Structure 1
Amino acid sequence: MAMGAAPIVVHLLLVLCSAAPASAAANADPSGRPSPTTKFREAPQFYNSPSCPPPLPPSAAASCFPAALVHVAMTLDVAYLRGSMAAILSVLQHTACPQSVQFHFVASDAVPYLNDTIAASFPYLSYRVYPFDDSRVAGLISTSIRAALDRPLNYARSYLARLLPSEGDGCPRRVVYLDSDLVLVDDILTLAATPLPGPDTVLAAPEYCNANLTAYFTPTFWSNPVLSMAFAEGRSRQPCYFNTGVMVIDLERWRAGGYTGRIEEWMELQKRMRIYELGSLPPFLLVFAGRIAAVDHRWNQHGLGGDNYRGLCRDLHPGPVSLLHWSGKGKPWVRLDAGRPCPLDALWAPYDLLQAPFAIDDS
């Protein structure tokens, strides 16, 4: 697979730049962080339809099962665990083959607690928790407009191809990556089946070509003709904004193209020249915008958390909805607990598995 001009441009600029590395950003937790003693209810079990293959064996240390119809990758941490639990439940509740979905979780700390919590709430689930070493990315992170975006685990999606075993070990070639602040209201089988045409299409995601792409990068970036050329070289079509919270990824094509390294090169340049302001998204845009397969917007009704400065309530985009995504500053569980929910937060609440502190176990 050809590397294209953009990685060469980045390499040359890295050689020419001579600034000392900046310190890593602080790993700030969002408000509403649960403690490791937080309890979650056991989720109801959902069963495969008759047309589905035999169920996967439940396991908290599952090997990759080629028979799985869908492989889902997510990050797990204590701060966003309540959202993750809701997302998992929504996937299982709305698919025709819930016992044929395998989950691949990435976590950097509190792994025993996270593993025990998933096992207790989803005892029938086939999944594995993969450890992520924050140090592999901490030195590449530049501060952004919101501290929560600077957590090293936010960048784990760039390392899935290195964390998950390869296809030769019986592991998935294709995964659906999902953020922790979303719920599905449609069958994930449909999303997972998104075509990735040609040998060079690595990922698919909903695109938004009416978004102002220039807003995601600094004047320093756009005023440098060598840098701005990155959005012209090797693109199969117009570069458009896409949200990285919902992606269908071909891991073998990712590995073949060395895309983790390409993303890291842009992050290294960012440490020296400050070419963007918004966390882990801009490097993805630089590498993939104009090179992805487009997915219907119904699969990422994003921005429901409000804007990153004030967290104001937002409405749904026009059109049908298959996935609701509370990207942005405000998270539904925090607003619900504070008694100041946005109207759409009521759509998240039915998937909340948090156990009330004074709940009575009548089993």
Structure 2
Amino acid sequence: MESKQTRGPIVLACDKRYAMPLATTLRSIVETDRSGEPLEFHVLADGLSERIRRRILDSLPHGSASIRWIEVDLGMFQEFSTISYISKITYARFLIPRIFPDTVSKVLYLDCDLLALDDLQALWATDLEGNVLGAVLDRLDSQIKNQTVRLPVPRVRDYFNAGVLLIDLHQWRKAQIVETALDYLKRCPGSPYSDQDALNVACDGFWKKLDSRWNYLAYNEKLDVSELAGEHKPSIVHFTTWNKPWRPGVPNANAALYDSFRSRTRFPRNSMDRMEATLRIGWSHIKGFQKARQDKSARSDAMVDRQADQSSFK
């Protein structure tokens, strides 16, 4: 079932480490948008200079979007932990209800490590049917249900990924999602997926499952998502692991796809960046080859030792 509501605010969060990914994500959204109307971005920012903010805006075609910058204070989240490659800015999504008036009923939250590969209108048109939010199941969900997950993640009915959230602000406030999430984090400050775990606890039983195409989780860095077709073709691809496609010297099958959008921002890779990446990848392959040879040699030595031991008992 779908509602007739047109698209509204798109919210993202970013610190200075993610300026380039933010620009690339925004570029992908405006390039795939077919409405012909300017998009409305709201960025929860931490430490982004005016020069960087201008550079991000200039990464978008003139007139394609507006960006409202909201400087946030992350002090209230200092006691909570994150995975090493995730910034405290991830907690900024808890501030979303504060930055919009009651007249705004629905917002779309997106992480900065994703690409939009299709128009988002169909996502916007999703009827949340009274639920707090719409999200896509995380791969941890099946592990939780099969009781094979080793991390102390919360055992909820269904576990979603928080990188793409279609939020009903009225229901969010009514259900006191932020208060419940913060209470969970105070009780479990070392929860492995921090704010995502907390949101799953707060929204347990009150969220709608979205089709996986709206948050395709690219865990496999050897799979080129641009080759996926038909029902498997993602509308949003989300690079969730530490091995991001923009990391220099780290092999990733989606590096070319990512660079195709990045190259049209004000943060393109220059020739030196490309050379460095090529050298790093080459060195990575050499080290991998050397390790494989060492492992093979060790196995051969172990086999010889076993044969010698067996001969000694004959």
Give the alignment's TM-score, normalised by structure 1. Answer: 0.64
Partner of 2:162, secondary structure, is coil
Work out the CA distance in 1 between the residues paired with 2:240 and 2:122.
22
- Aligned counterpart for 2:128 among listed residues 184, 189, 196: 196
Cα 1:111–1:98 shift into 2, 3 Å = farther
Greater relative contact order (CA < 8 Å, ≥ 6 in sequence): 1
Offset, 1:314: 5.0
Query: In the alignment, what sits opposite 1:176?
Result: 108
Change (3 A) 1:208 1:105: closer
Say yes or no: does 1:325 pair with 2:249.
no
> Given the alignment of the two structures, is residue 255 of structure 1 paired with residue 173 of structure 2, yes or no?
yes
Secondary structure, aligned partner of 2:233: coil
Aligned partners of 1:68 and 1:119: how far apart in 2?
Answer: 23
The 5 Å alignment of 1:147-186 reads 147-149=84-86, 151-162=87-98, 164-168=99-103, 172-186=104-118
Q: Deviations over 1:123-143 (max 9, x none)?
A: 42222001110102113x13x
Structure 1, unpaired ranges of 5+: 1-66, 223-227, 232-238, 307-311
Would the aligned equivalents of 2:12 and 2:109 in 1 still touch at CA under 8 Å?
yes
- Structure 1's 167 and 320: CA in aligned 2 closer, same or farther, altered over 3 A? same
Q: Which residue of 2 aligns with 1:63?
A: none
The equivalent residue for 1:20 is none
Are the aligned partners of 2:6 and 2:124 in contact in 1 as well (CA < 8 Å)?
no
**Whole-Å separation in 1 of the counterparts to 2:245 and 2:135:** 23
- Give 1:290's aligned residue: 205
**SS at 1:117's partner residue?**
helix
* 1:358 CA displacement: 7.4
- Equivalent of 1:71, from 5, 9, 22? 9
The answer to whether the Cα contact below 8 Å between 1:217 and 1:282 also exists between their aligned partners in 2 is no
Residue 205 (1) aligns with residue 135 (2):
yes
Cα distance between partner residues in 2 of 1:328 and 1:71: 27
CA distance in 2, matches of 1:120, 1:212: 43
1:121 pairs, out of 59, 66, 73, with: 59
Change over 3 Å in CA distance of 1:251–1:111 after alignment to 2: farther
For residue 106 of structure 1, what is the amino acid of its counterpart? L
Choose which of 267, 270, 277 in structure 1 pairs with 2:188: 270
SS of the equivalent of 1:246 reads: strand
- Write the distance in 1 (CA, Å) between the matches of 2:223 and 2:242: 11
Q: CA deviation at 1:217?
A: 4.9
Shift in alpha-carbon separation, 1:216–1:74, aligned structure 2, 3 A: farther
Q: Which runs of 5+ in 2 are unaligned?
A: 273-314
Q: 1:217 to 1:343 in 2, by over 3 A?
A: closer
Give a deviation string over 1:29-64, Cα, whole Å, max 9, x none.
xxxxxxxxxxxxxxxxxxxxxxxxxxxxxxxxxxxx
C-alpha contact (below 8 Å) 1:71/1:176 kept by paired residues: yes
What amino acid is the match of 1:153? I
Aligned counterparts of 1:289 and 1:313: Cα–Cα separation in 2: 33
Indicate the structure (1 or 2) with the bigger Cα radius of gyration. 2
Q: Does 1:351 align with 2:264?
A: no
1:103-118 mapped onto 2 (5 Å cutoff): 103-118=41-56
Letter of the structure 2 residue corresponding to residue 138 of structure 1: Q
Q: Residues 303 and 280 from structure 1, CA distance in 2 versus in 1: closer, same or farther, beyond 3 angstroms?
A: farther
Could you list the per-position Cα deviations for residues 311-334 of structure 1 after superposition, in whole angstroms to 9, with x for gaps in the alignment?
Answer: x64565882311111111111111
> What is the correspondence of 1:9-28 to structure 2 with a 5 Å cutoff?
none
Note closer, same or farther for the CA distance 1:119–1:319 as it changes in structure 2 (3 Å cut): closer
Q: Cα–Cα, structure 1 residues 80 and 278, in superposed 2: closer, same or farther, change >3 Å? A: same
TM-score, normalised to structure 2, is: 0.73
Q: Mark the CA change 1:294 to 1:216 in structure 2 (over 3 Å): closer, same or farther.
A: farther
Over the residues paired in the alignment, what is the CA RMSD in angstroms?
2.6
Deviation, 1:287, is 1.5
- The residue identity in structure 2 corresponding to 1:180 is C
- Residue 98 of structure 1: CA displacement? 4.6
Which residue does 1:19 correspond to in 2?
none
Separation in 2, partners of 1:299, 1:97: 18
The change in CA–CA distance for 1:302 and 1:261 in structure 2 (over 3 A counts) is same
CA separation of 1:217/1:114 partners in 2, compared to 1, >3 Å: closer, same or farther? same
